[in-house]
């Protein structure tokens, strides 16, 4: 299964298919963490299995296919990491030039991944943190795209709805796998595009009479980028811009972007907003690796931190399944791996005799 199984649902170009095998990612059941949280059906959707290592490949495949159909030869975009890596890969596949405005705090590993695919990168001072700078960059990019004939691709419905329609395939896959039951889906959010795509995707399934379950879609944000989650929880109808202070790569989007629509869709589904601290995401990133074998970047552990918060608040029981979106691979953020393995130095070089003695001593 891939996003192309539902190509007619997201208006895929018939003769300009740009693919690297995106979609159809595993949905795996928790072996240990779910029991500890009192959730016997805790599931993880492993989006790091996509070609460039994140769910953004769903966006890039759809967006770049449309670019090719439109006869575009150049793509402009913004990224804190995963969008840029995905666009760079799919533009390389399609033979389209890719130029990216990068947030100041983007991880080195993601930048090198973009460079490896031949993208041109420009890191913009305070982009990602300052709402004023974000607004200026988005406005400037729109002008540049109009002046140069390039296509502007930003992973948000407010900017690139055709690309984001490809992200809705996440909901199609989850709905088909979970069947006609009631369950919860926890989504990490920066600008909110992913959460909105998932919520709208379930709506599409229902409207087409292809699914008769129900999904409560929850929005989880780090406290340093709380544009949507608290307004959603407090009954507000609009998101709020903030100066982004989170260190979680990929969620450093202090502008509203898709936030207002996220609040509306999550509330309609019965979902809630959850605010977590960066430290909890890092803790769950480490525990996912050690207790579940799931190698996630910090943003990929944010949904699970939100589940923990909901359990503590008494908002989840063990009666309904819970799905966490694990949005990207651990290889995306080298600094987080150093943090995760602190105190565990690489072993010294030894001969086999020393190795065998250690195994006997530890009775492994």
Q: Give the DSSP per-residue string, 70-82.
A: TT--EEEEEESSH
Enumerate the H helices of the chain as residue ranges.
Answer: 33-37, 56-69, 82-94, 108-116, 131-148, 161-167, 169-178, 193-207, 229-234, 259-269, 278-287, 298-312, 334-340, 352-362
Instruction: Decide: helix, strand or coil at residue 61.
Output: helix
* Rounded-to-10 torsion of CA 269, 237, 312, 196: 50
Measured in degrees and rounded to the nearest 5, phi and psi for residue 184 equal: -115, 145
Name the pTM for this structure: 0.93
pLDDT given at position 114: 93
pLDDT at position 1: 61
What tokens were used for 216? 């409560």
Pick from 10, 12, 61, 44: which is nearest to 292 by CA?
Answer: 44
| Residue-level length of the chain | 364
Q: Is 206 exposed, middle or buried (0-12, 13-18, 19+ CB in 10 A)?
A: middle
Residue ranges in the chain modelled with pLDDT below 70: 1, 346, 363-364
Within the chain, all domains assigned CATH 3.40.50.1100 are found at 3-54+163-340, 56-158
Q: What is the CATH number of domain 56-158?
A: 3.40.50.1100
CATH 3.30.499.10 fits 3-54+163-340, yes or no: no
End-to-end CA distance of the chain: 40
- 209 vs 187: CA distance, rounded Å: 24
Report pLDDT for 346: 67
- Tell me the C-alpha distance between 337 and 345, whole Å: 12
- Do the bridges between strand 322-326 and strand 182-188 make them parallel or antiparallel, or are there none, so unpaired? parallel
pLDDT at 269: 97
Distance, CA of 152 to CA of 175 (rounded, Å): 31
Strand partners for 42: 322
- Spatial separation of the C-alpha atoms in residues 121 and 115, rounded to whole Å: 8
Q: Quick check: 205 and 9 in contact, CB under 8 A? A: no
Amino acid 108: pLDDT: 84
pLDDT in tens, 58-99: 999 999 999 999 999 999 998 878 999 999 999 999 999 999
Structure tokens belonging to residue 224: 């340093």
- Say what the pLDDT of residue 210 is: 85
């Amino acid at each position: 299964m891939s996003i192309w199984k539902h190509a007619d649902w997201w208006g895929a170009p018939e003769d300009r298919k740009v693919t690297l095998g995106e979609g159809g990612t595993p949905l795996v059941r928790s072996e240990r963490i779910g029991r500890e949280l009192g959730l016997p059906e805790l599931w993880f959707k492993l989006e790091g299995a996509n070609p460039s290592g994140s769910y953004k490949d769903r966006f890039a495949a759809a967006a770049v296919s449309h670019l090719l159909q439109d006869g575009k030869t150049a793509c402009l975009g913004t990224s804190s990491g995963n969008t840029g890596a995905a666009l760079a890969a799919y533009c390389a596949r399609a033979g389209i030039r890719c130029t990216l405005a990068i947030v100041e705090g983007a991880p080195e590993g993601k930048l090198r991944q973009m460079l490896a695919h031949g993208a041109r990168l420009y890191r913009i001072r305070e982009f990602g943190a300052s709402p004023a700078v974000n607004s200026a960059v988005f406005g400037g990019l729109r002008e540049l795209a109009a002046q140069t004939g390039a296509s502007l691709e930003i992973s948000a419905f407010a900017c690139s709805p055709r690309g984001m329609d490809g992200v809705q395939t996440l909901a199609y896959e989850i709905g088909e796998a979970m069947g006609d039951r009631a369950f919860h889906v926890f989504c990490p959010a920066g600008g909110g595009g992913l959460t909105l795509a998932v919520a709208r995707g379930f709506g599409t399934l229902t409207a087409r009479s292809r699914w008769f379950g129900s999904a409560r879609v929850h929005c989880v944000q780090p406290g340093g980028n709380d544009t949507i989650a608290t307004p959603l929880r407090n009954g507000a109808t609009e998101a709020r811009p903030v100066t982004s202070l989170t260190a979680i790569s990929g969620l450093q989007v202090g502008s509203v972007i898709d936030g207002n629509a996220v609040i509306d869709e999550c509330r309609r589904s019965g979902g809630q907003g959850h605010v977590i601290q960066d430290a909890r995401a890092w803790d769950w990133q480490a525990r996912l690796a050690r207790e579940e074998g799931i190698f996630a970047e910090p943003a990929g552990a944010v949904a699970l931190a939100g589940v923990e918060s909901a359990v503590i608040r008494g908002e989840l029981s063990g009666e309904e399944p819970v799905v966490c979106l694990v949005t990207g691979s651990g290889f995306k953020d080298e600094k987080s791996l150093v943090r995760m393995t602190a105190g565990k130095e690489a072993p010294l070089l030894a001969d086999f005799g020393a190795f065998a003695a250690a195994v006997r001593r530890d009775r492994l």
